[in-house]
């Protein structure tokens, strides 16, 4: 995205002070907040100490966030230790299949979870703890400092009011300006997000706009108060491909105008390329790979990410390649079994994977983290990565013949013995091999995942 970091309408730094409700408190209703004192997700280099204050503090810090939902069948462990830091003007993509905890994470940051949710960990905006604050305090942050864009624009728009009025109300909620000035600002914002004839269109109702245009209106609303953080939760998922690209461009405009940092949530890794600075891949409520976008794309260190990459078209690949979806489904988040939750779907799973859940830990590149027992042995070429989930039997062996093909650093590592999974063998007589050479049945022949995870 554009690297413009100083918004055209930037305020002169008025940060909200914590209200009387300041400090860890109930997460609302039955919720509880237990600060973890910066212990963070096990092994997470993104975890931070919880003592940061004021101006020197990072913009947004999520530290060891856990969210559970009690249900009749047990507690849904929707988020199980998410940590990240967001720097001003940066774009963090949060990627994962449906049900991996992306939306619950963002709703926790915004303080929009139902009162039944059980929360722990920490969410700090410019050093101020948000978790456990009352709705009155949080509503001062929402809109003015943290804005959210949902997949369905009608989540944010009221069908019975004209769009100009709704944007003007968003301005008036945080600024003491004359109504006429708020209306002018609404038209200006509509123009910025690419709505033609903005003054006239401001008088239309949401149903008079197409889906893509409605999402532009919502982006205009998110920009209304020049927020520092915009969380966009699958903003393009409901739109067709050409409109998706336009909405991403509009988000780029929003960032350029406001200087906001963006958390871009998507199930589609393809959306992330060229947009994000950092990627956080989630599986079963946890980050399983975190790193700079190029590193995660070209040197993935977690089989789940490798599977996601193999299931999406690559415009950066010279060859035509077959797309291979990851077989199976994510696990139920109620009573998760011990071990790595990806085990039943992972072509590289070993016995240890069933016994121990690997921590998110730095790989050879310290800012690239992975939660896999064998992350240091993964340095796959694109070709090998695709073969892994295609059942084309990635064999073991450093410096194998296919290693020199693509993948930059990965290929280099393979050639020098860094990668354990190398040769792609023709034929399909046995299951894919594990890092230590054990054959596993192909995913299609493995036992079904207990309790297909709720979506």
Ligand X SMILES: Nc1ncnc2c1ncn2[C@@H]1O[C@H](COP(=O)(O)OP(=O)(O)O)[C@@H](O)[C@H]1O
Phi, psi of 216 (to 5 degrees): -65, -40
Print the binding letters for residues 94-123 with ligand X: x by CB under 6 A, - otherwise: --x-xxxxxxx---------x---------
Minimum separation from the CB atom of position 365 to ligand SF4 (A): 18
Closest CA to 297 of 286, 284, 287, 306: 306
Show contacts with ligand X in window 63-92 (CB under 6 A).
69, 71, 76, 78
Q: Which is nearer to ligand SF4, 147 or 421 (CB)?
A: 421
User: In whole angstroms, what is the distance from residue 416 CA to residue 413 CA?
Assistant: 5
With b for 16 or more beta-carbon neighbours within 10 A and e for fewer, the 9-34 pattern comes to eeeeeeeeeeeeeeebbebbeebebb
**How many other CB atoms sit within 10 Å of the CB of residue 444?**
9
Give min distance, CB of 159 to Mg ion, in A: 22
Q: Which does 374 bind (CB under 5 to 8 A by kind): ligand X, ligand SF4, Mg ion, none?
A: ligand SF4
Q: How far is the CB of 426 from Mg ion (least distance, A)?
A: 40
Give the residues lining the site for ligand SF4 (CB under 6 A): 302-303, 340, 342-343, 346, 348-349, 353, 358, 372-374
Integer Cα distance of 396 and 423 in angstroms: 7
Distances in Å between the Cα of 397 and the Cα atoms of 217, 386, 406 are 54, 17, 17
Question: CB under 8 Å to 239, separation ≥6 — which residues?
Answer: 211, 212, 215, 247
Nearest approach, Cβ of residue 152 and ligand X (Å):
13
Instruction: Using the CB atoms, write b or e for 259-287: b if 16+ within 10 Å.
Output: bbbbbbbbbebbbbbebbbbbbbbbbbbb
Q: Output 60 or 449, the one with its CB closest to ligand SF4.
A: 449
Quote the least distance from Cβ 260 to Mg ion, whole Å. Answer: 21
Q: Which does 99 bind (CB under 5 to 8 A by kind): ligand X, ligand SF4, Mg ion, none?
A: ligand X
Element (H, E) at 200: helix 198-201
DSSP code of 433?
Answer: B
158 is a contact residue toward ligand X (CB under 6 A): no
| Per-residue contact flags (x/-) with ligand X for residues 328 to 357, judged by CB under 6 A | -----x------------------------
As to burial, measured by CB atoms within 10 angstroms (0-12 exposed, 13-18 middle, 19+ buried), residue 112 is middle
Is residue 166 at the binding interface for Mg ion, with CB under 5 A as the rule? no
Nearer to ligand X, 39 or 329 (CB): 329
CA-nearest of 376, 322, 319, 382 to 348 is 376
User: CB 332 → Mg ion: shortest distance, Å?
Assistant: 17
Q: How far is the CB of 63 from ligand SF4 (least distance, A)?
A: 24
- Are the beta carbons of 359 and 289 closer than 8 angstroms? no
Task: Number of residues interacting with Mg ion: please give it, by CB under 5 A.
Answer: 1
What's the closest the beta carbon of residue 102 comes to Mg ion, in angstroms?
5
The minimum distance between CB 318 and ligand SF4, in angstroms, equals 28
> Which lies closer to Mg ion via its Cβ, residue 146 or residue 282?
282
d(CA 410, CA 117) in angstroms, rounded, equals 42
Rg (CA), the chain: 23
Residue holding tokens 């988000």?
A: 251
Q: Which does 310 bind (CB under 5 to 8 A by kind): Mg ion, ligand X, ligand SF4, none?
A: none
Closer CB to Mg ion, 103 or 343, in the complex: 103
* Interacting partner of 1 out of ligand SF4, Mg ion, ligand X, none (Cβ under 5 to 8 A depending on kind): none
Q: Tell me the window of 96-104, 140-148, 172-180, 253-261 that interacts with Mg ion (CB under 5 A).
A: 96-104
CA–CA distance from 204 to each of 170, 187, 195 (Å)? 17, 12, 12
- Nearer Cβ to Mg ion (98/438): 98
348 binds, among ligand X, ligand SF4, Mg ion, none (CB under 5 to 8 A by kind): ligand SF4
- Smallest separation, CB 434 to ligand SF4 (Å): 7
Q: In Å, what is the CA distance from 205 to each residue of 159, 213, 215, 284? A: 7, 12, 13, 39
Q: Which is nearer to ligand X, 82 or 275 (CB)?
A: 82
Contact predicate 398/417, CB 8 Å = yes
Angle of the 211-223 helix axis to the 179-192 helix axis, nearest 10: 130
Based on the shown chain and the rule CB under 5 A, indicate whether residue 103 belongs to the binding site for Mg ion. yes
- Residues lying near Mg ion in the complex (CB under 5 A): 103
- Residues lying near ligand X in the complex (CB under 6 A): 69, 71, 76, 78, 96, 98-104, 114, 333, 453-455
């Amino acid at each position: 995205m554009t690297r413009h970091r100083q918004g055209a309408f930037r305020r002169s730094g008025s940060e909200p002070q914590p209200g009387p409700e300041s400090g860890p408190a109930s997460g609302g209703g039955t919720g509880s907040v237990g600060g973890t004192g910066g212990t963070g997700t096990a092994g997470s280099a993104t975890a931070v100490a919880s003592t940061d204050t004021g101006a020197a503090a990072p913009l947004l810090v999520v530290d060891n966030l856990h969210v559970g939902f009690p249900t009749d069948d047990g507690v849904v462990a929707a988020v199980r230790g998410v940590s990240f830091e967001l720097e001003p003007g940066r774009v963090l993509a949060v990627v994962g299949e449906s049900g991996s905890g992306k939306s619950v994470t963002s709703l926790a940051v915004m303080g929009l979870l139902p009162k039944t949710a059980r929360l722990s960990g920490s969410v700090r905006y410019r050093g101020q703890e948000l978790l456990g604050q009352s709705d009155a305090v949080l509503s001062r942050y929402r809109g003015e400092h943290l804005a959210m864009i949902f997949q369905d624009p009608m989540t944010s728009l009221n069908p019975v009011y004209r769009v100009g009025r709704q944007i003007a109300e968003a301005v008036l909620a945080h600024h003491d300006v004359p109504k006429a000035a708020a209306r002018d600002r609404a038209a200006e914002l509509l123009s910025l997000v690419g709505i033609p004839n903005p003054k006239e269109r401001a008088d239309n109702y949401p149903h008079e706009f197409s889906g893509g245009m409605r999402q532009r209106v919502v982006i205009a609303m998110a920009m209304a108060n020049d927020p520092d953080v915009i969380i966009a939760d699958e903003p393009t998922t409901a739109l067709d491909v050409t409109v998706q690209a336009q909405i991403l461009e509009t988000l780029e405009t929003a960032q350029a105008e406001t200087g906001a940092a963006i958390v871009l949530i998507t199930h589609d890794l393809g959306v992330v390329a060229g947009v994000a600075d950092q990627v956080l891949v989630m599986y079963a409520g946890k980050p399983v790979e975190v790193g700079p976008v190029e590193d995660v794309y070209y040197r993935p260190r977690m089989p789940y990410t490798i599977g996601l990459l193999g299931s999406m078209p690559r415009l950066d690949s010279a060859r035509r390649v077959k797309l291979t979806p990851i077989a199976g489904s994510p696990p139920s988040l109620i009573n998760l079994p011990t071990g790595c939750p990806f085990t039943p779907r992972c072509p590289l799973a070993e016995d240890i994977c069933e016994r121990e859940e690997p921590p998110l830990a730095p790989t050879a590149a310290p800012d690239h983290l992975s939660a896999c027992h064998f992350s240091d042995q993964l340095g796959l070429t694109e070709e090998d990565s695709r073969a892994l989930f295609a059942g084309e039997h990635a064999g073991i062996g450093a410096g194998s013949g296919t290693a020199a093909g693509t993948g930059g650093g990965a290929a280099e590592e393979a050639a020098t013995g860094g990668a354990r999974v190398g040769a792609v063998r023709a034929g399909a007589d046995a299951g894919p091999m594990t890092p230590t050479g054990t054959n596993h049945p192909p995913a299609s022949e493995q036992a079904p995942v207990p309790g297909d995870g709720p979506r």
